[in-house]
A = this chain, B = another copy of it.
Amino acid sequence: MRWPGGPVATALRVVEVTEPDTWVDLTAEPLPLAEVVAWATVPGCGGLAVFVGTVRDHAEGRPGVVALEYEAYEPAAQQVLSQIAGEARRRWPEIGRVALLHRTGRLAVGEASVVVAVSTPHRAEAFAAARWCIDTLKESVPIWKREAWSNGQAWSPDAHPLREVGSGGGGR
């Protein structure tokens, strides 16, 4: 899906040019956790908080989860990841680097579905910003999870009505 010259293309181009310290991505490949951790480490920032979401072997009422499938509304989902990174910087200007990566497609139990990494000079801000980013990501990014468990498959019931980034709630 593309909107030539539309708002999404413009926003993405701006992000890429002006934010070398921001890394957002939607990818069907395994998330590069080690690279994210290394990339987010910068000399001015003594604290790096990372959150990794991984596919659990169970969900509410669904024992024996064997796989998940994530479907994203691209490229809008990628644009929302950029918005979250931008809003995090507005709330915590001390952020050095921020990474928000989400996996798409089919994932096995134990694979990482999402990684958030935030580096700041001091640890309190890194924890708070990383927590805000993952909470906001779960409410604001157009991504849907389909679960396949021991005797069925269906969309995840653990869903949130889509909210706009920065429309209240959490953090600073």
Which B residues are CB-close (under 8 A) to A44?
Answer: 56-58
C-alpha gap A41/B115 in the complex (Å): 12
Report the minimal beta-carbon distance from A117 to chain B, rounded to whole angstroms: 8
Which of B34, B51, B110, B121 makes the CB contact (< 8 A) with A49? B51
Query: In the complex, which range does the number of interface residues on chain A fall in?
Result: 20 to 34
Which B residues are CB-close (under 8 A) to A47?
Answer: 51-54
C-alpha gap A121/B37 in the complex (Å): 22
Q: Report the copy number of this chain in the oligomer.
A: 2
Q: Which residues, 77 to 126 on A, are CB-close (under 8 Å) to B?
A: 109-110, 112, 119, 121, 123, 126
Which B residues are CB-close (under 8 A) to A121?
Answer: 56
Which of B110, B127, B130, B134 makes the CB contact (< 8 A) with A43? B110
- Counting chain B CB atoms within 10 Å of each CB, the highest count among A42, A46, A121, A130 belongs to A46
Some 30 contacts from A to B, beta carbons below 8 A apart, are A33-B34, A33-B37, A34-B34, A34-B37, A37-B37, A37-B50, A41-B54, A42-B110, A43-B56, A43-B109, A43-B110, A44-B57, A44-B58, A45-B56, A46-B54, A46-B55, A46-B56, A47-B51, A47-B54, A48-B50, A48-B53, A48-B54, A49-B49, A49-B51, A51-B126, A53-B123, A54-B119, A56-B121, A123-B134, A127-B130
